């Protein structure tokens, strides 16, 4: 060990002596790594290749004890501290420059209690870890649509996916969480214990401490569900989206159907001449029994004249990985997102026309239909405030060459600006890129911001947890 310089939260830097770092390393069940080491490089590399930050050191935690020691050291010396769950956040907030990074990815255990219908999940677990364990018992909890995403970051921001219209957001299924506070104490947050903290971590992100264990409620799902894709030519998209908007408003909660517009990937069920052409894809999943699923899917299958329709019985766990090949780590990415109460004709026109100028073949416009159980939770019940939203549109720009950075981000910003007049002004915190800190107060949290800010002042008055979409402590 040698002495090392660290950036601090007051904008200065501090040297940590070799024996301090050696003392930390000696107390860990996990390990500590430094620049140049393979493990360091692996942990600082996150999903979005636009993120290239270099912490002074990385602690690879094996358990809550490692988290406690790391947080105490960071708090004692005022170090910049970042926390990595699955490393998927578009803003790259899991990594910091010059500070201490806490890598939770080694903590991946998932324990299902099939009698109590609960799951105990460590913070390095991916969605796939939870789905696989829970599906062994025909159970699931609402998570997102890309199986390599981290459960931790997804949950702390809210979390929605194919089961959410039926069973709510991921946070609506959170029963408790173990949280290491900035003081380095582990407390349990639930409706009974520290209810203010429990409220705040359900949507307020990593602002309040490090979660070392999540407890979720589970529901019977599958193992077979009705799911799949329906592909239309973009030339039919305006009419098809108009029908979709009418059908989704009447659909049962079990049914989720999202729309994606992009260049057709070379999927085996698409004719070769369609590959690379502009398409509208409906992605559909029904979280109930197969017969009800067939019935609920039928009107969506009857929209227009699709190029392909591969909706049918599928294993739920496999459907949860269906989008993985399009969302692999290592590409450069920039997102812009808006919430909408409705998909009006002018918005549909704008989105469809924009697909004709996608800057690369990997870019897409994503329309997620929410509603159902999500919207039956009062705005003030959790920190996530967007309980009236029907659609979230996320503009995913994705490319590989740094030379394309400017064209791709500019395209996303233009579309975002043009769509703003139709939007609520709200935004899902987990879809916000690094350059949107001005949207945190009114866009991400709105009516819930002041309460979050007071809870931040109580649990993290020095704003130790600041490498995130930051809630400032109330003064």
Ligand X SMILES: Cc1cc2nc3c(=O)[nH]c(=O)nc-3n(C[C@H](O)[C@H](O)[C@H](O)COP(=O)(O)OP(=O)(O)OC[C@H]3O[C@@H](n4cnc5c(N)ncnc54)[C@H](O)[C@@H]3O)c2cc1C
Binding site for ligand X (CB under 6 A): 46-47, 82-90, 93-94, 104, 123, 144-146, 149-150, 152-154, 156-157, 159-161, 205-206, 210-211, 327, 430, 467-468
Q: How far is the CB of 292 from ligand X (least distance, A)?
A: 23
Q: How far is the CB of 86 from ligand X (least distance, A)?
A: 3
Using an 8 Å Cβ cutoff, are 404 and 332 in contact?
yes
Q: Which is nearer to ligand X, 149 or 274 (CB)?
A: 149
Q: How far is the CB of 151 from ligand X (least distance, A)?
A: 7
Q: Which is nearer to ligand X, 177 or 415 (CB)?
A: 177
Q: Which is nearer to ligand X, 274 or 469 (CB)?
A: 469
- Show the 3-state SS of the chain: CCCEEEEECCCCEEEECHHHHHHHHHHCCCEEECCCCHHHHHHHCCCCCCCCCCCCEEEECCCHHHHHHHHHHHHHHCECEEEECCCCCCCCCCCCCCCEEEECCCCCCEEEECCCCEEEECCCCEHHHHHHHHHCCCEECCCCCCCCCEHHHHHHHCCCCCCHHHHCCCHHHEEEEEEECCCCCEEEEECCCCHHHHHHHCCCHHHCCEEEEEEEECEECCCEEEEEEEEEEHHHHHHHHHHHHHHHHHCCCCEEEEEEEEECCCCCCCCHHHCCCEEEEEEEEECCCHHHHHHHHHHHHCCCCCCEECCEEEEHHHHCCCCHHHCCCCCEEEEEEEEECCCCHHHHHHHHHHHCCCCCCCCEEEEEECCHHHHHCCHHHCCCCCCCCCEEEEEEEEECCHHHHHHHHHHHHHHHHHHHHHCCCCCCHHHCCCCCHHHHHHHHHHHHHHHHHHHHHHHCCCCCCCCCCCCCCCC
Q: How far is the CB of 269 from ligand X (least distance, A)?
A: 22
CA-to-CA dists, residue 327 to 48, 238, 363, 370, angstroms: 10, 26, 11, 21
Q: How far is the CB of 398 from ligand X (least distance, A)?
A: 9
Q: Which two tokens stand for residue 360?
A: 């690369």
Quick one: residue 222, left, alpha or beta (phi over 0 = left, psi -120 to 50 = alpha)?
left
Q: Which is nearer to ligand X, 96 or 274 (CB)?
A: 96
Q: Which residues pair with 139 in a beta bridge?
A: 220
Q: How far is the CB of 131 from ligand X (least distance, A)?
A: 13
Q: How far is the CB of 349 from ligand X (least distance, A)?
A: 26
Q: How far is the CB of 155 from ligand X (least distance, A)?
A: 8
Q: Which is nearer to ligand X, 148 or 274 (CB)?
A: 148
Q: Which residue's Cβ lies closest to ligand X?
A: 153
Rounded Cα distance, 468 and 49, in Å: 18
Q: Which is nearer to ligand X, 202 or 306 (CB)?
A: 202
Q: How far is the CB of 346 from ligand X (least distance, A)?
A: 26
What number of CA atoms fall less than 13 Å from residue 60's CA on the CB side?
Answer: 16
Rounded Cα distance, 408 and 400, in Å: 11
Q: Which is nearer to ligand X, 150 or 222 (CB)?
A: 150
Q: How far is the CB of 207 from ligand X (least distance, A)?
A: 7
Q: Among 81, 22, 74, which residue's Cα sits nearest to residue 183?
A: 74
Q: Which is nearer to ligand X, 390 or 467 (CB)?
A: 467
Q: Which is nearer to ligand X, 159 or 228 (CB)?
A: 159
Q: How far is the CB of 156 from ligand X (least distance, A)?
A: 5
Q: Which is nearer to ligand X, 73 or 274 (CB)?
A: 73
Rounded Cα distance, 49 and 15, in Å: 30
Q: Which is nearer to ligand X, 266 or 325 (CB)?
A: 325
Q: Which is nearer to ligand X, 307 or 471 (CB)?
A: 471
Q: How far is the CB of 149 from ligand X (least distance, A)?
A: 5
């Amino acid at each position: 060990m040698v002495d090392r310089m660290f950036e601090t939260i007051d904008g200065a830097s501090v040297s940590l002596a070799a024996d301090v770092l050696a003392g930390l390393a000696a107390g860990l069940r996990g390990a500590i790594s430094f620049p140049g080491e393979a493990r360091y490089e692996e942990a600082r590399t996150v999903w979005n290749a636009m993120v290239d930050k270099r912490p002074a050191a990385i602690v690879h935690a094996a358990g809550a004890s490692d988290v406690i020691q790391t947080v105490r050291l960071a708090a004692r010396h005022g170090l910049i501290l970042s926390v990595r769950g699955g490393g998927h956040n578009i803003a790259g907030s899991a990594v910091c420059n010059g500070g201490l990074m806490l890598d939770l990815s080694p903590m991946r255990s998932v324990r299902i209690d099939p009698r109590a219908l609960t799951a105990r999940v460590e913070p390095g677990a991916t969605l796939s870890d939870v789905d696989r364990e829970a599906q062994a018992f025909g159970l699931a909890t609402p998570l997102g649509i890309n199986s390599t995403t981290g459960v931790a970051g997804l949950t702390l921001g809210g979390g929605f996916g194919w089961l959410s219209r039926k069973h709510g957001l991921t946070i609506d299924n959170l029963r408790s969480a173990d949280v290491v506070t900035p003081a380095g104490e582990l407390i349990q947050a639930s409706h009974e214990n520290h209810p203010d903290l429990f409220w705040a971590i359900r949507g307020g992100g990593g602002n309040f401490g490090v979660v070392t264990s999540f407890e979720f409620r589970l529901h019977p799902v599958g193992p077979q569900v009705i799911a799949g894709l329906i592909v239309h030519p973009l030339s039919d998209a305006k009419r098809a989206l108009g029908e979709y908007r009418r059908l989704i408003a009447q659909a049962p909660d079990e049914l989720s159907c999202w729309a994606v517009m992009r260049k057709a990937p070379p999927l085996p069920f698409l004719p070769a001449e369609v590959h690379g052409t502009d398409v509208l894809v409906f992605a559909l999943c029904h979280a109930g029994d197969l017969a009800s699923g067939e019935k609920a899917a039928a009107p969506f299958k009857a929209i227009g004249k699709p190029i392909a329709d591969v909706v049918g019985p599928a294993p739920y766990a496999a459907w949860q990985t269906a989008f993985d090949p399009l969302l692999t780590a290592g590409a450069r990415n920039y997102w812009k997102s808006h919430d909408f109460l409705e998909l009006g004709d002018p918005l549909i026109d704008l989105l469809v026309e924009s697909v004709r100028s996608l800057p690369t073949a990997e870019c897409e416009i994503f329309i997620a239909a929410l509603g159902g159980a999500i919207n039956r939770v009062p705005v003030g019940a959790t920190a996530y405030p967007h309980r009236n939203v029907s659609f979230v549109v996320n503009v995913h720009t994705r490319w590989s060459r740094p030379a394309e950075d400017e064209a791709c981000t500019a395209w996303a910003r233009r579309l975002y600006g043009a769509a703003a007049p139709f939007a609520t002004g709200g935004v899902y915190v987990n879809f916000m890129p690094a350059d949107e800190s001005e949207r945190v107060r009114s866009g991400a949290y709105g009516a819930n911001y002041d309460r979050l800010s007071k809870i931040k002042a109580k649990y993290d008055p020095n704003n130790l947890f600041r490498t995130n979409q930051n809630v400032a402590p109330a003064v």
